[in-house]
Amino acid sequence: MGMIMWELTTGCKPFANVEHDIHLVYKILDGERPKITEDTPECYSDLMKSCWDPNP
């Protein structure tokens, strides 16, 4: 859900600038997330981060 929220706020696909391969999978499993843009409302940003939390 957090990635969909990120896509809605940016208008971009997450990790569009990198190859979608096993290396990206491991980075995401290690906690890598796309940068939240500065114009994202704080309440929306907090909810997005909560979705990304491994222990929500």
Residues 6+ apart with CB under 8 A from 1: 51
How many folded domains does the chain comprise?
1
Mean of the pLDDT values across residues 23-50?
96
Distance CA 26, CA 24 (A): 5
> What one-letter code names the amino acid at 53?
D
Q: Is the pLDDT of residue 15 over 80?
A: yes
Q: Is the pLDDT of residue 56 over 90?
A: no
- DSSP label of 50: H
Residue 55, pLDDT score: 85
Which own/partner pairs from 37-45 qualify as long-range (CB within 8 Å, at least 24 positions apart)? 37/9, 37/10, 39/9, 40/9, 44/5, 44/9
Identify the domain containing residue 41 by its residue range: 2-52
